[in-house]
Amino acid sequence: MYLITSFAFFLIGGMMALVIRAELAKPGLQIVNEEVYNQLFTMHGTIMLLLFATPLFVGFANVIMPVQIGAPDVAFPRLNMFSYWLFLFGGLIAFSGFFTPGGAASFGWTGYAPLSNAVRSPGIGGDLWIMGLWMAGLGTILGAVNFVTTIITMRAPGMTMFRMPIFTWNILVTSILVLIAFPILAGALLMLEADRALGAHVFDAANGGPMLWQHLFWFFGHPEVYIIALPFFGIITEILPVFSRKPVFGYIGLVGATLAIAALSMTVWAHHMFVTGAVSLPFFSFMSFMIAVPTGVKFFNWIGTMWGGSVSFDTPMLWSLGFLTTFLFGGLTGVILASPTLDFQVTDTYFVVAHFHYVVFGTVVFAMFAGFYFWWPKFTGRMLDERLGKLHFWLLFIGFHTTFLVQHWLGVEGMPRRYASYGANEGFTTLNEVSSLGAFILGASTLPFLYNVYKSRRSPKVGVDDPWGWGRSLEWATSCPPPRHNFVELPRIRSESPAFDRHHPEIALAAIDGASGNNLLDPEQDEADADPHP
């Protein structure tokens, strides 16, 4: 349900983006007026970040994480369903502003005060946005409690913490980040609504309220970037070893990098506020550069996983390579924005828009489709068509880079973001035409995927546990799709690759447990591993 609903929000947000790009293809106003344009970019950002990317990670976690640790389900199934309904109705409430007389919220997805107060945004759409996001955020918090409980208490015998798949590790760390960051957003939203409905004056300019809102929002907002990134880093880390025919490179390093990213993400929020002049530039610039280090460690490990392997370019691997390429570009421009001197020049221009989409779209969407193509047989018992999958990939890859690469140049030339129009004599027209053309290619790329999903209903059932042949984590040791409680019989777990050990015993027999020096098939070692919660 999470996967289907979040993908539906993805399609809605994508259609809004197409209207925005159609408007910007030519100078002047073409399709919508300024107010509707403001509503579109506000709801586009809100939907893509909080109603698509965040619940999408919850969807993957619900389906894959319990199977990876040998659990029959999440710890609290009813709480899980309650979390889903909070997300769904919260999202619908936020979106329903379009059907009110004043329209949807139009103050930007960051909700900056005083633009979001009752004087400058008097319509009920702003109130619906606030309370809808509060409700959806509560669902995310409850889901995080569920995931932490499941991972800590429901691992199968032998599934020690350092035998968990990297995806499960990333879900655990992400859930902890949610429990830290989302209550800050919830409190800020309630105070903003108190300002609007009750005259509370929390975010009044006379009280320094606009700066207070920025601190509260970005203390949530920067960890949120990693809340939506870390699970998808985990997806890529699951895929690369399978199609490189070798174990993941630097398992401990990847876990350490995940923990370091989570810790550092709480220290860099004010790099979004460099131009305010009210934050410590040296400290937040240094911390912004620092967070690139563990991210670089992950990238090094991904390259190391493929290095020397027998790489096959099946559709999930293509999407993973697309992720690596796109995320690398986004990371490099992120280092530019970590420098206050350079950030001052491009703040609130299309350079920031391009960087943000390279990081977020490059992470979430490429990894989402990689995960869909990789785990589709585990979800449904059927395979997606490889030719359609590769057509889908190349259309999206070309469309994405055509859309957003040129926006870096638009930003350097000075085109401000969030403007509904621009002058014909400003020199922005050609690059905007290219960007809009790419956006429509990007939008059209979804059609082969939707047809592929429809076509897969008639494809033959998968008859083996692991149709890829080299699956490593525990979900590939049960049927496609799994039975109701995931496993008829749990295999012995002696390493971080239990499915591979089961399907390739001739290789597992030769493997040596580096930590204990015992053979992975040693019965005495099995006894020592019987308790998964040392």
Angstrom distance (rounded) from CA 392 to CA 450: 10
Phi and psi of 68, rounded to 5°?
Answer: -65, -25
- Is the pLDDT confidence value at 521 over 80? no
Q: Residue 349 forms beta bridges with which residues?
A: 416
Residue 386 has a pLDDT of 94
Strand, helix or coil for residue 132:
helix
The three-point CA angle 80-85-87 to 5° equals: 95
Return the axis-axis angle of helices 209-227 and 251-265, rounded to nearest 10°. 170
Q: Residue 445 to residues 18, 19, 423, 438, 441: CA-CA distances in angstroms? A: 13, 16, 31, 11, 6
Per-residue pLDDT tens over the stretch 163-182: 999 999 999 999 999 999 99
Other Cβ atoms less than 10 A from the Cβ of 459: the count is 15
- Residue 453: which pLDDT band, with cuts at 50, 70 and 90? very high
Q: Minimal CA–CA distance to 367: which of 496, 488, 238, 232? A: 232
Residue 184, token pair as written in the block: 């800050």
pLDDT of residue 519: 45
Q: Which two tokens stand for residue 98?
A: 């379009």
Torsion angle defined by CA atoms of residues 132, 137, 142 and 147, in that order, rounded to the nearest 10 degrees: 130
Query: Average pLDDT in the 282-293 region?
Result: 94
Rounded Cα distance between 415 and 348, Å, is 9
Phi, psi dihedral angles at 417 (to 5 degrees): -80, 165
Q: What is the pLDDT of residue 517?
A: 47
Q: Nearest 5°: phi and psi at 114?
A: -90, 5
Cβ 257 vs Cβ 234: under 8 Å: no
Q: How confident is the model at residue 522 (pLDDT cuts 50, 70, 90)?
A: very low
CB atoms within 10 A of CB 525: 17
Is residue 150 within 8 Å of 74, Cβ to Cβ?
Answer: yes
Which residue(s) pair with 382 in the sheet?
A: 461
In the structure encoding, which two tokens stand for residue 455, read together? 């076509």
- Report, in this order, helix, strand and coil percent for the chain, each rounded to 5: 70, 0, 30
* pLDDT tens for each residue of 454-498: 999 888 888 788 899 888 899 999 989 899 899 988 888 888 888
Instruction: For residues 19 and 31, give the distance between their C-alpha atoms in angstroms, rounded to a whole number.
Output: 8
| Residue 534, pLDDT above cutoff 50 | no
Closest CA to 142 of 110, 93, 186: 186
Q: For residues 404 and 353, what is the distance between their CA atoms, to the nearest angstrom?
A: 8
Could you give the angle at the alpha carbon of 431 between the alpha carbons of 28 and 411, nearest 5°?
A: 90
Separation of alpha carbons 80 and 54, rounded Å: 15
Section 26-33 average pLDDT: 92
pLDDT given at position 510: 61
pLDDT score for 76: 95
Question: Does pLDDT of 532 surpass 80?
Answer: no
Q: Which residue has the tokens 């008859």?
A: 463
| The residue count for the chain | 534
pTM of the prediction?
Answer: 0.92
Element (H, E) at 359: helix 350-380
The phi, psi pair for 107, rounded to 5°, reads -100, 15
pLDDT at 458: 87
d(CA 328, CA 154): 36
Question: For 50-66, what is each residue's pLDDT tens digit?
Answer: 999 999 999 999 999 99
Paired residues of 321 in beta bridges: none
Six-digit token pair at 163? 């035998």
Q: How many whole angstroms separate alpha carbon 514 and alpha carbon 500?
A: 17
Look-up: residue for tokens 């027999």?
A: 509
Do residues 260 and 396 touch, judged by C-beta distance below 8 A?
Answer: no
Answer yes or no: are the C-beta atoms of 501 and 474 closer than 8 Å.
Answer: no
Cis check: omega of the bond before 481, within 30 degrees of 0: yes
Alpha helices in 97-154 (DSSP H): 124-153
Average pLDDT of every residue of the chain? 91
Q: What angle do CA 317, 318, 324 make, to 5 degrees?
A: 90
| pLDDT average, residue stretch 105-115 | 93
Q: Point out the least confidently predicted range of 175-179, 217-221, 318-322, 467-471.
A: 467-471
Q: Is the pLDDT of residue 234 over 90?
A: yes
d(CA 423, CA 416): 12
